Amino acid sequence: MLKVIIDNIEIQVEEGTTILQAARMIGGKVVPPAMCYYSKLKDSGGKCRSCLVKVVKGSAKDPRPVPKLVASCSTPVQDGMVVENTLSAEVQEARKGVVEMLLINHPLDCPVCDQAGECDLQDLSFGFGMEETETIEPRREYPGIDIGPLIKLNMNRCIHCYRCVLAAEQLTKKRAHGMLYRGDTMEISTFIQTAIDNDFSGNMIDVCPVGALTDRTFRFRSRVWFLNPMDARRECGKCSGKVVAWMFGKEIYRITGRKDQFGEVEEFICNECRFEKKDINDWVIEGPRKIKRQSVISSNHYEQMKKGSIIHPIEGTTEPQE
C-alpha cells in the first residue's frame, strides 16, 4: 500500500491509483473537479485540465516538488507523495483560467438548455468562473447537425471532453461518430451525416458533462428541478433495467441512468429502457432518489434547509443563533 497526503489528509491506496481516485476515496471538498475523466470509460481523462493539483512532495524517495501543476486524473500516486488542491492558491488560479478557456466559446444557453440544473460546467463556472468575459471576439459557431431521431447534438456547447466518443466505442459494436479536424475547428460529428443508431447510444447523453448531447424525447418538456427523480427498475434482457425515472405526478418525462456521487453512471442502460418505456406501468418504482443538497434539483426538497429564528427555532437545528 502507498501512503499519500492530500490537503493534509493521509490515506493509503493501492499501487496504480491516481491522485484523483485517491481524493475520491477521501471525499468532500478534497476531490478535484473533472470534466473529461470517467472511471467507467477506459482511457478517459487528461483533456480538460480542470483537475489540476500541486504536488509539493514527489515521493518519500524523491521529496522534490513537481515544478508544474499536474492532471490528477492521469498522475499515479507515489509512496510519500504530498498533494495540495484546495490549499494551493496556484491551483485555484489555474482552475479559474481553465474555466475561462472552457467558456470562451460556450454560448449562454443556460436559460434554454435541457442540461441546466445538472450541468457540470455550470457547477464549475459557479465556483471558479468570472463574472464578465475578457474577450470581444465573436464566439465560434457550428452549423446544426442531425445525428438521429433520439439524440440532439449542439456542437456550440461541446467542450471536447471525448466522453461520448469513448462511450460509443466501448459500449457499442459500431461507432459512427468521432472527433473531426483539429485546433479551433475541432468538432464531434458523424462523417457524412451518418445517424447514430445502436442499442446503447443514449448513454452518450448521460456521460456528456454539458448540454451538447440531449434527449430529443425530453427536449423543452420541463426543467429538471420541477421533476421528481425516482429509482425504478424493470426486467430487461439488454441491460440491468435499473434507472432513474423523472416524474411529474404520475407521468414519466424521461429516463436516465443512475449516477453516483461523482456524477458517473453506475450501470449503463439500453435505448429501449431510456426512450421507449415512458409508461409508469412499465416500471417498478422503488422510491425517491437521494439528491445532493447543492444541486438545484433539490429546490423542491426542503429538508432541514430553513434556519430557525430566535423566537421560533426549528427543532433539530445545530446552528447557533446570532
pLDDT in tens, 147-171: 888 889 898 998 988 898 888 888 8
How do 2-6 and 228-233 pair as beta strands? Answer: unpaired
Query: Which of 42, 71, 100 lies at the terminal end of a domain, its last residue?
Result: 100
Q: Of 89-103, 228-242, 293-307, give the lowest mean pLDDT range.
A: 293-307
Instruction: Tell me which DSSP letter residue 10 carries.
Output: E
Q: Evaluate if residue 130 carries a pLDDT over 90.
A: no
Residue 128 lies in a domain: no
| Cα–Cα nearest to 309, from 297, 299, 321 | 321
Is residue 96 domain-shared with residue 7, that is, in the same domain?
Answer: yes
Q: Is residue 206 part of a domain?
A: yes
Instruction: Give the residue with greater pLDDT, 298 vs 72.
Output: 72
Are 273 and 284 within 8 A, CB to CB?
no
Give ∠ CA 31-41-267 in degrees, rounded to 5.
90
CB 17 within 8 A of CB 2: yes
Does a structural domain hold residue 129? no
Task: Assess whether 273 and 240 both reside in one domain.
Answer: yes
Q: Which among 277, 258, 260, 278 has a CA at the least distance from the CA of 268?
A: 258
Distance in angstroms (rounded) separating the CA atoms of residues 67 and 245: 47
Half-sphere exposure of 10 (CA within 13 A, CB side): 5
Calpha distance 294→90 (Å, rounded): 25
pLDDT value, residue 293: 60
CA distance 170 to 321: 54
* Segment 239-267 mean pLDDT: 93
In the predicted model, is pLDDT for residue 291 greater than 80?
no
Last residue of a domain, one of 79, 100, 121: 100
Poorest-pLDDT segment among 45-59, 100-114, 295-309: 295-309
Are 7 and 41 in the same domain? Answer: yes
pLDDT in the model for residue 305: 43
pLDDT interval class at 303 (50, 70, 90): very low
The CATH number assigned to the domain holding 189 equals 3.30.70.20
At residue 321 the predicted structure's pLDDT band, cuts being 50, 70 and 90, is: very low
Confidence at 182, pLDDT banded by 50, 70, 90: confident
Determine the average pLDDT of the residues in 184-212: 78
For 289, the domain range is 223-300
* pTM strictly above 0.85: no
Q: Which backbone phi and psi does 75 adopt, to 5 degrees? A: -105, 115
- Indicate whether 86 and 152 sit together in one domain: no
**Confidence (pLDDT) at 147:** 81
Which SS3 state, helix, strand or coil, does residue 274 take? helix
Distances, alpha carbon 92 to alpha carbons 83, 84, 89, in Å: 14, 10, 5
Q: What pLDDT shows up at residue 144?
A: 80
Whether the per-residue pLDDT at 188 is higher than 90: the answer is: no
DSSP category for residue 140: P
What CATH number is attached to the domain comprising 95? 3.10.20.740
The answer to whether position 266 is within a domain reads: yes
3-state secondary structure of 2: strand
As a whole-number percent, the residues of the chain with pLDDT over 70 amount to 87
Res 312 pLDDT > 60: no
What is the rounded average pLDDT of the residues 63-81?
94
207-220 as b/e: b if 16+ CB within 10 A: bbbbbbbbbebbee
> Among 81, 100, 119, where does a domain finish?
100
Residues 34 and 95 in one domain: yes
Answer yes or no: is pLDDT of 189 > 90: no
Band (195; pLDDT cuts 50, 70, 90): low
Question: Would you give the DSSP letter of residue 165?
Answer: H
Compute the average pLDDT of residues 257-270: 92
What is residue 96's predicted lDDT score, i.e. its pLDDT? 92
Percent of the chain with pLDDT over 90: 52
Sign of CA pseudo-dihedral 103, 106, 112, 117: negative
pLDDT on residue 295: 63
32-36, 123-127, 269-273, 309-313: segment of lowest average pLDDT: 309-313
**pLDDT, averaged across the chain:** 85
The yes-or-no verdict on residue 211 having pLDDT over 70 is yes
**Number of structural domains, the chain?**
3
One domain, residues 64 and 151: no
Domain co-membership, 8 together with 76: yes
The model's confidence at residue 69, banded by pLDDT at 50, 70 and 90, is: very high
The pairs formed by 289-297 with CB atoms below 8 angstroms and a separation of 24 or more are 289/229, 289/230, 289/231, 289/244, 289/258, 291/229, 292/261, 294/123, 295/117, 295/118, 296/117, 296/118, 296/224, 296/225, 297/117, 297/118, 297/224, 297/225, 297/227, 297/229
DSSP conformational letter for 160: -
3-state DSSP assignment of residue 291: coil
Secondary structure element (H or E) that encloses residue 95, with its range? helix 89-103
In-domain check, residue 308: no
Instruction: Tell me whether residue 316 is in a domain.
Output: no
